[in-house]
Structure 1
């Protein structure tokens, strides 16, 4: 087995077991922050930066790395901390989110840890809607704050993408409201994106924030004797979520005869071969990388048309 194949197998095992690898880093002070290792392409000393006109202050400039020219975002400034002094003395975490490569300027990188998603929890309710945290966990008696990177990117470079009008035919509009979708995502920004998409398409939806909450909800309906296929056209789920990830949620759904007929679309800022392998392993019906409004709408509309055809 090649080294890359070995790493892929190891990562499949981690994700399939409701576990994640978390890259820990510091900004100002001793507080530890984390992001999923699967989104990290490399960590480098901060290269020379070329300033950009007309960009928000958080974007400290553009750097040339192996990916080409990428924007370097001061992660501390993005979460309302003072700017990093002397960027060249700090580090850049090069990541890929939502099909885009960008660098995050941090003071220092600490280590990589392996964590059970059950040990990762939603941020405290008192953190408020403007918080840039998506989850928290604890290790060695120290709180680790997991940053909602999608929210940060959206605050600096928002996606303004709606569903193309040619997809929303009169045929779809006439029947879409008869269908209900379960949406599961811990990121408020990602949920809002998909909710706008579903609203434009015309379907009803219920939004939940993590896999455990979704599984409990579905089990509750099944325990009441309801046919899940009658309740929902499909489920659209993120992969990275506290308490239970999307892979584990999908696997539990597909292993339960009461739920297994439910169509599952995994919708994630993670991408690549790793995801394709895991999607097949857990039995998901679709995988889409975030975020393309038309791609998502096409899958939803395809399921609506399939359900309509089955009536005849």
Structure 2
């Protein structure tokens, strides 16, 4: 718990710890340590018939059956050979309310970084679709994996609100309302946008907290009628430049923005979330990604929205 608490404080100060690991081509990649349960040598794998090629099997890890994903194959790189699998490592992680293992060639170390040092990935690279960001560590680039994108490709995610929940949440969003959505994952942004679209809610998208905050300040300065349309802000926690905690803190410090309803929506799991939500002043936390749960929380925000809206032309 002391380890969890220390990493909680990092997140609250726009910092993170990355576990650095290597794949087949020796390129270094990173994953947030808070999402990592443990790193182990590859256990005995049992084949899964008709599974995606990147699913190398399932394994019994401390009494739990866990899916093992070949991370190189999942992002379009070479599939790990059977001989390499025997010498490989598995990073056991918890994302989106599930536990899974990522098969990697090597594990390096943990580094402590500021999110300000983490930048969006360059376009045009072979793996750019599976990256959320890059960071420079020891004069070399470390690529941070977009896990939501991998899950969408390998496992698939449901984005449709169930019929009974949709009936409960329909009609709450007026045409004047908009939601500002901040997430560094393209897949995650689209998942949220598609869910809100089913509720009749228009979205404005941002790729990190700074972009979202700059948008809100611009509206406050130049288009107060646009700011009045903002029914809520939905933000990821992990983002380059400015994370979701820092974004929420900045919103609460600005008198023009402090009344905005803020939902933190993240694949980060753990008991720390509720405390951090309260500390930074967010209204709600919700774990990724379940369309029904998101719809219910958004509906709550819409029901509590003040009824005075600027008339749109």
Moved more, 7-16 or 128-137: 128-137
Contact 1:184–1:237 at 8 Å: present in 2 too?
yes
**Structure 2 residue 64 is the aligned partner of structure 1 residue 68:** yes
Q: Quote the Cα distance in structure 2 between the aligned partners of 1:298 and 1:148.
A: 26
Q: Quote the Cα distance in structure 2 between the aligned partners of 1:74 and 1:117.
A: 27
Q: TM-score, normalised by structure 1?
A: 0.93
Unpaired runs of 5+ residues, structure 1, are none
What is the aligned counterpart of 1:47 among 36, 43, 46?
A: 43
- Report the CA distance shift for 1:74/1:171 in structure 2 as closer, same or farther (over 3 A): closer
Contact 1:229–1:262 at 8 Å: present in 2 too?
no
2:156 maps to: 158
2:16 maps to: 20
- Report the CA distance shift for 1:137/1:130 in structure 2 as closer, same or farther (over 3 A): closer
Contact 1:228–1:262 at 8 Å: present in 2 too?
no
Q: Quote the Cα distance in structure 1 between the aligned partners of 2:246 and 2:296.
A: 25
Q: Quote the Cα distance in structure 1 between the aligned partners of 2:59 and 2:126.
A: 34
Q: Quote the Cα distance in structure 2 between the aligned partners of 1:129 and 1:227.
A: 40
Deviations 1:96-151 (A, max 9, x none): 11111100000110000001000101111233796211100101110111111110
Moved more, 161-170 or 28-37: 161-170
- Report the CA distance shift for 1:178/1:223 in structure 2 as closer, same or farther (over 3 A): closer
Q: TM-score, normalised by structure 2?
A: 0.93
What is the aligned counterpart of 1:257 among 236, 255, 259?
A: 255
Q: Give the deviation of 1:225 after TM superposition.
A: 6.2
Q: Give the deviation of 1:309 after TM superposition.
A: 6.5
Matches within 5 A, 1:106-145: 106-127=104-125, 131-145=129-143
Moved more, 185-194 or 171-180: 171-180
Unpaired runs of 5+ residues, structure 2, are none
Structural RMSD (CA) = 2.0
What is the aligned counterpart of 1:89 among 81, 87, 111?
A: 87
Deviations 1:162-201 (A, max 9, x none): 1122233498337443311001111011111111101101
2:288 maps to: 290
What is the aligned counterpart of 1:244 among 236, 242, 251?
A: 242
- Report the CA distance shift for 1:89/1:175 in structure 2 as closer, same or farther (over 3 A): closer
Q: Quote the Cα distance in structure 2 between the aligned partners of 1:228 and 1:259.
A: 12
Runs of at least 4 residues of structure 1 off by over 4 A?
308-311
Q: Quote the Cα distance in structure 2 between the aligned partners of 1:113 and 1:92.
A: 19
The SS at the match of 1:144 is strand
The SS at the match of 1:56 is coil
Moved more, 165-174 or 90-99: 165-174
Contact 1:265–1:287 at 8 Å: present in 2 too?
yes
Contact 1:24–1:32 at 8 Å: present in 2 too?
yes
Aligned residues: 307
- Report the CA distance shift for 1:129/1:192 in structure 2 as closer, same or farther (over 3 A): farther
Contact 1:176–1:201 at 8 Å: present in 2 too?
no
